[in-house]
Structure 1
Amino acid sequence: SPVPFPPAVCTRELCVFSFYTLGVMSGATDEVATGAEVVDLLVAMCRAALQSSRKGIIFEPYPSVVDPFNPKILAFSPKRKSYNRLQKALDSVLLIRRMAQGPYSEIKKQMDKIDPLAYPLLQWILASNRSHIVKLPWNRQLKFMHTPHQFLLISGPPSKEARFQTARKLHGSTFAFHGSHIENWHSILRNGLVNASYTKFQLHGAAYGKGIYLSPISSISFGYSGMNCILKTHPSSLFLQNRNLNCIALCEVITSKDLQKHGNIWVCPISDHVCTRFLFVYENGQVGDVHINTQEARIHREILQVIASAQL
């Protein structure tokens, strides 16, 4: 059966107020059938973007949240950004999450006592995510990635997914890794991977021209994720509590003539030709297998099997 897409979140103020009045976002937290770890992942990515020195560029979209005490005004608005107030509300979400390990829906009252904007912010973080993410159970994970924190993106942002499927029918596809700092994923999950070459969003060089940089070899993308500069810290029992997170994506890419291959560095100049399918999260100095090659038949077969089993 087709996967229902999460509701789109329009940032226009009229839409935000309408959503609030009609209760469109009120059930967002309760409907997260994907479990607490996916919620924790989204919160962790939001925190990383908010704490980045580049937050003015990469913390996009900025929340639009109605004031619970005055539903005619916005407590958080892209037109009046307050990163400090946003950080305070997010800290309250994190504090309650550490104290109570139950579902988020059960701890709304505790959040409201500490900060009335904490729970509305959490609702926005969940409702604004445009990708359908599921945590892979242990028996369906890609073991060669060496992390228990594996997530499958069953679908990307709907409009992009539709264009991708059309291109795949014409040209076929394969899989490749994409490494990006954890702080960038708040935006990527909501906007999709974009061609950031020669823009303010670019963090690394573009030696092979404009496009989304990918590699069939895991070690190359691990480097771009910042994993080669990890500081070892004491392990934490809670995934959410780790501030030292790194993320690598396994993407499906259209194999048209537009895909430029420079040895093991591939450049795709068309954003719609790349869709993130897996996220692998590493904490506190964990590393994955650096010798994985997605073009090996065995690896390719395992990837397809996991995707197929998750969509049954």
Structure 2
Amino acid sequence: MPISMCTRELCVFSFYTLGVMSGAVEDVATGAEVVDLLVAMCRAALESSRKSIIFDPYPSVVDPFDPKALAFNPKKRSYDRLQKALDSIMSIREITQGSYVEIKKQMDKLDPLAHPLLQWIISSNRSHIVKLPVSRQLKFMHTTHQFLLLSSPPAKEARFRTARKLYGSTFAFHGSHIENWHSILRNGLVNASYTKLQLHGAAYGKGIYLSPISSISFGYSGRRNFACGYMSGLHCVLKQTSRFLQSRNLNCVALCEVITSKDLQKHGNIWVCPVPDHVCTRFFFVYEDGQVGDANINTQEPRIQREILRVIVTQSS
């Protein structure tokens, strides 16, 4: 499980000055696309018109020139400076071509806050994300960008498993705009109904909205345009690169496991779960350039359920 970081200033100072994160990016080569995804989510939240609400948490990053001060401080937010540092973060596809020392040297030349920000993006992620190899992907989702996503802390996962023994479970999709996932990965999937986090209506009451039908959840995933970064003095040209991070449009949807207790309210193909502990993310799918997968997937079909369980068993073996 990735290291989670306390946002209290004393903890932040100890975290960085003791060198806890000194080698974190050394593992980038084995998880390049995961880091690409984390950066893309961060960028989407930062570029959103709702950033004051959904860009949560805001980074706590020690000033590399003054270890007693914070360069990025939640109490003194500067979205413009944060955007500048984020634009300077190199594509992970390029990062994998050099050693960790060389990576840091190149990033420091672009912006002295770029590397510390990348460290924070990686370390503040509280979810367990693993890119699935092609042999272990769900073929019916029609994307190569598939991830195992476990966003529940151990205590919640334990409560979920207890409830599953009592009531059983099934699978359903949860669609949310990519700009929301920066917060979801760090704060968990929460009941946003009737709160400032709510983006869509809550026609069927308060709870986490899910659907067994892919097209319904895809409808909530939205579409987001990304500004292209400026790397090493060269404009990146989208048509000339296949880098995951630099796609201008990303859609995403999660496949969740949900407890089938009487609390789960089914309104046709729209399900509402008012108990956050009864929903756990299992898989995450990303589509580039605004494309989406098969709109007719139904998680309640036996063949779909068999495929999901096959992949889950493979991952745990």
The alpha-carbon deviation at position 235 of structure 1 amounts to 8.4
1:61 paired with 2:50, answer: no
Q: Which residue of 2 aligns with 1:168?
A: 164
Q: What's the offset of the Cα at 1:199?
A: 0.6
Matched with 1:309 is: 314
CA distance in 2, matches of 1:235, 1:264: 41
Match of 2:117 among 83, 99, 121: 121
| In 2, Cα distance between equivalents of 1:188 and 1:287 | 21
Match of 2:24 among 16, 24, 28: 28
Q: Percent identity?
A: 79
Matched letter for residue 25 of structure 1: M
Is 1:212 the counterpart of 2:217? The answer is no
1:240 aligns with 2:235: no
**TM-score normalised to the size of structure 2?**
0.91
What SS does structure 2 have at the residue aligned with 1:261?
A: strand
Q: CA separation in 2, counterparts of 1:138 and 1:163?
A: 32
Structure 2 gaps of 5+ residues are: 226-237
Length-normalised TM-score, structure 1: 0.92
Q: Which residue of 2 aligns with 1:132?
A: 128
Task: Give the Cα separation in 2 of the matches to 1:235 and 1:258.
Answer: 50
Q: Are the equivalent residues in 2 in contact too, given 1:179–1:222 (CA < 8 A)?
A: yes
* Shift in Å, 1:53: 0.3
What is the letter of the counterpart of residue 255 of structure 1? T
User: In structure 2, how many angstroms separate the alpha carbons of the residues matched to 1:204 and 1:154?
Assistant: 24
Q: Conserved in 2, the CA contact under 8 Å of 1:98 and 1:241?
A: no
Q: Could you list the per-position Cα deviations for residues 227-262 of structure 1 after superposition, in whole angstroms to 9, with x for gaps in the alignment?
A: 5x99xx968511111121010110111111111001
| Bigger Cα displacement from structure 2, 153-162 vs 262-271 | 153-162
When residues 271 and 89 of structure 1 are mapped into structure 2, their CA distance, relative to the original with a 3 A threshold, is same
Q: Is residue 70 from structure 1 mapped to residue 62 from structure 2 by the alignment? A: no
Describe the shift of the 1:33–1:272 C-alpha distance in structure 2 as closer, same or farther (beyond 3 A): farther
Query: In structure 2, do the counterparts of structure 1 residues 187 and 194 end up closer, same or farther at CA, with 3 Å as the change threshold?
Result: same
* Paired position in structure 1 for 2:235: none
Write the distance in 2 (CA, Å) between the matches of 1:14 and 1:101: 33
Offset of 1:275 from its aligned partner? 1.0
Cα separation, 2, equivalents of 1:309 and 1:180: 27
- CA distance in structure 2 between the partners assigned to 1:167 and 1:32 by the alignment: 36
Match of 2:278 among 258, 273, 292: 273
**2:89–2:115 Cα contact (<8 Å) kept:** yes
Partner-residue secondary structure (3-state), 1:152: strand
Amino acid at match of 2:9: E
Mapped partners of 2:149, 2:202: distance in 1: 27
- Within a 5 Å distance, the mapping from 1:82-93 to structure 2 comes to 82-93=78-89
- Code of the residue aligned with 1:281 in structure 2: it is V
**Residue in structure 2 matched with residue 102 of structure 1 by the alignment:** 97
Contact 2:62/2:70 (<8 A) preserved: yes
Q: 1:260 aligns to what?
A: 265
SS at 2:252 equivalent: strand
State the alpha-carbon separation in 2 of the partners of residues 275 and 48 from structure 1.
23
* Equivalent residue number for residue 295 of structure 1: 300
User: 2:253 and 2:93 mapped to 1: Cα distance?
Assistant: 25
- Residue 156 of structure 1 and its aligned partner are, at CA, apart by 2.9
Q: C-alpha distance in 2, partners of 1:236/1:210?
A: 43
- Tell me, what secondary structure is at the counterpart of 1:30? helix
How many Å separate the matches in 2 of 1:188 and 1:127?
15
Give unpaired runs (5+ residues) of structure 1. Answer: none
Task: Compare 15-24 and 74-83 and name the one that shifted more.
Answer: 15-24
Aligned to 1:222: 218
Question: What is the count of residue pairs matched by the alignment?
Answer: 305
C-alpha distance in 2 between matches for 1:22 and 1:308: 39
Of 159, 174, 180, the match for 2:176: 180
2:230 paired residue number: none
**Preserved CA contact (<8 Å) 2:145 2:286:** yes
Report if aligned partners of 2:173, 2:213 keep a CA contact under 8 Å in 1.
Answer: yes
2:128 is matched by which residue type in structure 1? H
Kindly state the Cα deviation for residue 195 of structure 1 after the two structures are TM-superposed: 0.4
Residues 175 and 103 of structure 1: is their aligned pair in 2 closer, same or farther, counting only changes over 3 Å?
farther
Counterpart secondary structure, 2:25: coil
- The answer to whether the 8 A contact 1:197-1:206 is kept is yes
Offset of 1:171 from its aligned partner? 1.9
Cα deviation for residue 101 of structure 1 reads 4.9
